[in-house]
Amino acid sequence: MFTVYNQGKPFPLGATQYHEAQEVKNGKSFTNFALFSSAATAVELCLFDGQKETRLPMVCTDNIWHLAVLGAETGTEYGFRIHGEFANPQKLMLDPYAKAVNGKPDLSTPEAKSWFLLNDHRDNAALAPKAVVIDTQFDWTGDCAPNIPWANSIIYELHVKGFSKLNANIPEALRGTYAGLAHPTNLAYFKALGITAVELLPINFFIDEQHLQAKNLQNYWGYNPLAMFAVEPKYAATDNPLTEFKQMVKALHQAGIEVILDVVFNHTAESEKDFPTFSQRGIDDAHYYWQNAQGEYLNATGCGNTLNLATDAGCQWFIDCLRYWVEDCHVDGFRFDLATVLGRATPDFHAQATLFEKLASDPILQKVKLIAEPWDIGYGGYQVGQFPAYFAEWNDRFRDDMNRFWLWQSGALGAFAERFSGSSDLFAKNDRLPHTSLNFITAHDGFTLRDLVSYNTKHNEANGEENRDGRNENYSYNHGFEGNEIPSSEPNKSTIEQNRFITQASLLMTLLLANGTPMLLAGDEFGHSQQGNNNAYCQDNEITWLNWANFNQPLFNFTAQTIALRKQIASLTADRWWHNGNVQWLNIHGQPMEIANWQDSNTKAFQILLDNRYLLLINGKTVPQTFLLPNQFDWEVVLSSHDITCSSHHFETSDKTFCVLQVKDF
């Protein structure tokens, strides 16, 4: 039975349980509920005991509706009915601060989705997702954040389910779960590989888009959020997803691994204006979404709506959410999807946006890693290098320039050098350091590394969009055969496989030995393929799940060796811009690069001397080349993507080779 305790408090927003002796009545705890809505003329708190619904009118203070209730114990489902000019109290609204949610809406047919339309006047409480009152307490005794310096960070992007779903070394009941990710087998794997942080694709509560439900497909990546404070339950092996998630974080921390969350604060699952409504649109549409003077949504995301984080309510929701994940769940950072939206203040992008200022002044959030995907599809959406200095940014210029160099005909040595040295043309301003260039060759969106060397074109037919979706500019090369699996009848199979290995190795060395912060896509280190699908957002199946049965041990060993080498090179761990004192750019004859050398796109080769100790030989041509090395040192090979031969100070590299030498007996 639910009864009113008192009017409650406007803050904190959401549902908050109180157990302290001085705040209970007749030995019972109470729960405070608070919701922002400037559009509502009245709000009813709806509490559920099975099918029975109790409606309690809420009190308003400065657009915050609040009420304290007895009987709303852990496990109680709740929602809100909003009254007002543009509201529909027949539709149950989900708390934007919900820390757990029961139920995902069926949108597979026009009839099913009509129950969630604001112009429909049937009561949908029996079908609507409901927030759940939960106990967030957890024993963090002994937990210690790794606090890896940016200069020592190596990010590993993975999907919680896909990472371990097919791993036979993980107990079957744990595969594809938070507990599975934290299994000792995986912790040992991360340590052997040498990465320092896992970046998890969205684990916030999300739903499948209606066009996917109609095709019997699922949103695999999770970029369709409905409740940003809530843990996605389908990745849990237990009936307590939040506790399991926290146990995962604690276990990763004990292994010295940081946890970074990929979060979506650019749009929500409510999509277009006339699509199903579940939460913010029905609570306060004008405050939560960018709209023009006619009330039409501005769509800078391609997902039907754009969250307005420039309003006081939107900004507070954003900050409160991040602080919850840091303070209550101990995560170590965030990667922001389509992050240009964060700075849309007018709604054009502004690096001095209020939200950025609040982030800069927040003592909790300035202690964690913040990574921006610095673009969206709106006006002025491409903002690489324009974010505040405390952000690292995904550097797609690194990806494209390096892939064109190794896989296409590009001989742009200047572009290679610029990207490899940290992309100072983009980031060396406003006291920014090289770590702010987050370098990547592949990511969840696009080809895997194996597919990058196995396919000339995308193969997204399984997505049901006639292969129209996904990026067309992959800068890939199949090495003479289209497809990951080469049949034994192919006469050049062994040569093709060898060349693919060499190219993967050269790309991995380029990524992991460049100045800046490297991000490795999970599975690239052992040759995982998505069968040419470069937009596998809706493939929750063996296309995307890492195929551990086809583990390429030599490629894994090579990746781990390259990571270990990175950690030894001072110029890669100092987080400083390269200068004449620690780097020399040499042509293949061992002489300083001159303008003519930089402009010679046919040579497609040069040398980089780092710290007067390490010599990097780059040969991007499809033929062997001979390098004359600086003769003031004696050299030995440390690591090479392919065979080299040497005689005195002459080294002959094979085609498309990246080789690292070091001074003997340094």
Count of other CB atoms within 10 angstroms of residue 17: 18
d(CA 23, CA 19): 7
Q: Are 637 and 659 in contact (CB under 8 A)?
A: yes
Token pair recorded at residue 613: 């100790």
212, 224, 220, 245: which is closest to 100 by C-alpha? 245
Place of tokens 């992050």: 339
d(CA 59, CA 341): 33
Q: Are 271 and 305 in contact (CB under 8 A)?
A: yes
d(CA 557, CA 574): 25
Question: What residues does 658 pair with on adjacent strands?
Answer: 618
**572, amino acid identity:** L
Beta-carbon contacts of 276 under 8 Å, excluding residues fewer than 6 positions away, are: 105, 107, 113, 116, 117, 210, 270
Token pair recorded at residue 76: 């109680």
Catalytically annotated residues? 337, 373
> 633: exposed, middle or buried (C-beta count within 10 Å: 0-12, 13-18, 19+)?
middle
Q: Three-state secondary structure along 277-317? A: CCCHHHHHHHHHECECCCCCECCCCCCCCCECCCCHHHHHH
493, 520, 523: which is closest to 508 by C-alpha? 520
Q: Are 286 and 313 in contact (CB under 8 A)?
A: no
